[in-house]
Amino acid sequence: MAQLFPLLGFAFTGEVCDAGDACNDVAGFLAALEECGWSRERIRQLAHDRWDREEPYPYPLPAQALGELESVAAWFAILGEVRCALGLDVVQLAPSKRTDFTADELRLMGDVPPHHGSHG
């Protein structure tokens, strides 16, 4: 599990940092992040700023990094543990500010399966 902590540093800060190199648990990981200048409050603020801009958070890992994981299930489990420890496990999102549908969305909404009965 320790090999996951360096990747978690990127996922929660968006930066490559050495915070996770010697961590064995979530508390140690968060303490190491704080030593790198990433307090819990700063991380929470980053998360809320990204959500407000409708950007993904935690930061998604590059495909190559995901492919190198021993266990994707373990990755998502530890990601969830850190989110809970940071108080980011329940997200209150405001409705999207976007009001217009794209052409593709309008087309998809107009698509009706043949068995629906609305085609002659």
Mind giving me the DSSP string for 69-111?
A: -S-HHHHHHHHHHHHHHHT-SS--PPPPS--SPPHHHHHHHH-
Q: Is residue 113 part of a domain?
A: no
pLDDT confidence of residue 4: 78
Q: Is residue 12 part of a domain?
A: yes
Q: How far apart are CA 116 and CA 6, in angstroms?
A: 51
The pLDDT mean for the chain works out to 83
Q: What range does the domain containing 75 cover?
A: 4-92
Q: What is the pTM of this model?
A: 0.70
| Nearest by Cα to 51 from 7, 86, 96, 84 | 96
pLDDT confidence of residue 118: 61
Q: Is residue 120 part of a domain?
A: no
Say if residue 8's pLDDT is above 80.
Answer: yes
Q: Is residue 101 part of a domain?
A: no
Q: Is residue 15 part of a domain?
A: yes
Query: What angle, rounded to 10 degrees, do the helices at 72-86 and 4-13 form?
Result: 50
Q: Is residue 71 part of a domain?
A: yes
Say if residues 86 and 40 touch (Cβ distance below 8 Å).
Answer: yes
pLDDT confidence of residue 89: 84
Q: Is residue 118 part of a domain?
A: no
22-70 pLDDT per residue, tens: 677 889 889 989 988 999 999 999 999 998 888 999 999 888 888 888 8
Q: How far apart are CA 89 and CA 83, in angstroms?
A: 5
Count of the separate structural domains present in the chain: 1
With cut-offs at 50, 70 and 90, classify the pLDDT of residue 117.
Answer: low
Q: Is residue 108 part of a domain?
A: no
Above pLDDT 70, what percent of the chain? 83
Q: How far apart are CA 19 and CA 45, in angstroms?
A: 19
pLDDT confidence of residue 21: 56
